[in-house]
Amino acid sequence: MAQTKQQKERIVLAVLLVVAAVVWYAYFGKGKTAVGGVTAAGTYTPIDAEDYSVIFKDLGESQSTVYKPSGRNIFVAGPAPVSPSAVVEVKATKSALELPTVHPPPEPPAPVLSMKFFGYGSLPNNGPRRAFLLDGEDIHIVEEGDTVQNHIRITHIGNDRIEYEDTVTGKKNSTNLEMPPQA
């Protein structure tokens, strides 16, 4: 026998009501129990804490403490101010213990330009001055502000000398004009 649409809807409604009743019983129908608590294998026995005198004694001692400032401002970073008597004691101990002197590291040497400065020139109409540097058989033409050897910056090109500085250490040096080798 074929079921009508209305009969199918009633069957679906009945099934949904049964499912709702099962869900309700699963969550609310079992009575009052501890939800989310940890249960142990045995019964609960409370601790024996009848003597509170020790607790009250410690509490009274902590309540009777009085703040005594040490002279240090907790809102300022740095060490606390030193009393004069402590300074005298420290000076006495330092004189008894001869501390080794620490020497600062040696300063880096002045930069050395491995190229030979053998001439200079400039473009017409007051162009920038250029220096000719000989590196083995290679000739490099540089202006003031150019960097050679990856760390040496040319600072000034004069008539008889070229001045430069090391970009790593900041040290400055100069090289005099040299005559090129005769061919």
- Average pLDDT (142-158) is 92
Mean pLDDT of the residues in the chain:
82
pTM reported for the whole predicted model? 0.43
Q: In a 10 Å sphere around its CB, with 0-12 CB exposed, 13-18 middle and 19+ buried, how is residue 16 labelled? A: exposed
The answer on pLDDT for 136 being more than 90 is no
What pLDDT band is residue 122 in, cutting at 50, 70 and 90?
confident
* Structure confidence by residue, pLDDT tens digits, 42-97: 788 877 767 778 888 888 888 888 888 777 777 888 777 666 776 666 565 655 55
Query: Which residues 6+ apart lie within 8 Å of 113 measured at CB?
Result: 133, 148, 149, 152, 162, 164, 173, 175
